[in-house]
Amino acid sequence: MPGAYSHQACLEVYPEAEAIACNTFEGAVAAVKNGTADLAMLPVENSTYGRVADIHHLLPETGLHIIGEHFVRVHINLLGAPGSTMEDITSAMSHTVLLGQCRKFLRRHNLKPVTGADTAGSAEIVASRGDKTLAALASPLAAKTYGLEVLAEHIEDYDNNTTRFLVMSPEPIKARQSDKELITTFVFRVRNIPAALYKAMGGFATNGVNMVKLESYMLDGSFTATQFYADVVGHPEDPPLKRALEELDYFTSMVEILGVYEADLSRG
């Protein structure tokens, strides 16, 4: 919905572009693939909550390429209907990921968490209902978008609360070796041999490649079918990373590069 943190990310990275609201991640991908939108902005992980559910399953299936990343400092506000006060509020609605980022505040004020479809959608519901006992947990942008009262500001549990977004495009960018740090994102499945993961990762260590992220997730509901998602520093044509990927290929049944792009300045 307009006013969501994804909307904020779009405005920060592409201030001149028009943001198109989509109900699902799949809907955002479909909008790019059918030409309705040029790019998709997808949240992948939050520093407090962790991985955004299902996103790693979706990324390899989109047919799109990662062309950038952006980190949004997530400030959570408690938003009430016009005329409401902090004392009126008994429950707070938001996306389950955001509810997990301000648990301490909710407990301290004895507020019942209510799961909504998304953050800005929750703000819209609060605005439309006019119920002074119900608040939304959403961005300052959502407060302006739906005309809500800001009853409490920056209520996130941790002051470094940040969400990482990936920019997806139908075409890869021509990212080459440069003075800017590059990130290569890929997924892979290891072969069914002893110590396959250990051996596959060895090439990155021996070639001095910095792996900044490695996550596993199950496929097709099976405990034995595991896929890995990785971010490494460098370009696939850099000799150290090229050698590491060649070694990785030997111990895997599948490797797919999802994108090569410049690291966000906020990284680290």
Per annotation, catalytic residue among 163, 184, 185, 252: 163
Is 204 one of the annotated active-site residues of the chain?
no
CA distance 91 to 86: 11
Asked if 44 and 165 count as a contact pair (C-beta separation under 8 A), the reply is yes
CA distance 104 to 158: 10
Is 188 one of the annotated active-site residues of the chain?
no
Per annotation, catalytic residue among 25, 48, 62, 165: 165
Tokens of 132: 């002074």
**DSSP assignment string, 61-102:** GS--EEEEEEEEE---EEEE-TT--GGG--EEEE-HHHHTT-
Tokens of 183: 């990130």
Residues forming the active site: 163, 165
